[in-house]
């Protein structure tokens, strides 16, 4: 779970498996903590959390407040495809 600490302070959208309603969108906000199997989010940075998402139900955490930049989590890999390789 320590790898998920990189999301603390970031504005994120959280998605569950695609069988959930609304394409799996569960909610979003600013991540305040990742502990005890949950991701806690607040409406604004530094505020008290208003939601918690169980890690067991999360499929994707998408950071929305930064310029798109792919970075691997520790031990992960990122593969960039050139435009000619995408098709």
**Which CATH number fits the domain that encloses residue 76?**
2.30.30
Residue ranges making up the domain that contains 17: 2-85
Q: What is the pLDDT of residue 23?
A: 76
Torsion of the alpha carbons at 38, 49, 71 and 26, rounded to the nearest 10: 70
What mean pLDDT comes out for the span 51-73?
A: 80
Q: Which residue's entry shows tokens 């959930």?
A: 20
Question: For residue 7, is pLDDT > 70?
Answer: yes
74 or 11: whose pLDDT is higher?
Answer: 11
Q: Which of 16, 34, 18, 17 is nearest to 26 (CA)?
A: 16
Q: Looking at the 3D structure of the chain, how many domains does it have?
A: 1
The pairing of strands 51-54 and 38-42 is: antiparallel
Terminus-to-terminus CA distance in the chain, angstroms? 35
Percent of the chain's residues with pLDDT above 90: 40
Q: How far apart are CA 79 and CA 67, in angstroms?
A: 18
pLDDT (tens digit per residue) in 15-44: 988 775 667 889 999 999 999 899 999 999
Q: What is the Cα gyration radius of the chain? A: 14
Query: Whole-model pTM above 0.95?
Result: no
């Amino acid at each position: 779970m320590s790898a998920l600490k990189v999301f603390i302070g970031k504005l994120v959208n959280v998605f569950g498996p695609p069988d959930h309603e609304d394409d799996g969108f569960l909610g979003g906000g600013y991540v305040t903590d990742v502990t005890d199997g949950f991701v806690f989010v607040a409406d604004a940075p530094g505020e008290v959390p208003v939601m918690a998402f169980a890690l067991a139900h999360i499929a994707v955490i998408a950071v929305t407040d930064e310029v798109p930049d792919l970075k691997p989590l520790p031990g992960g890999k990122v593969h960039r495809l050139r435009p000619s390789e995408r098709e």
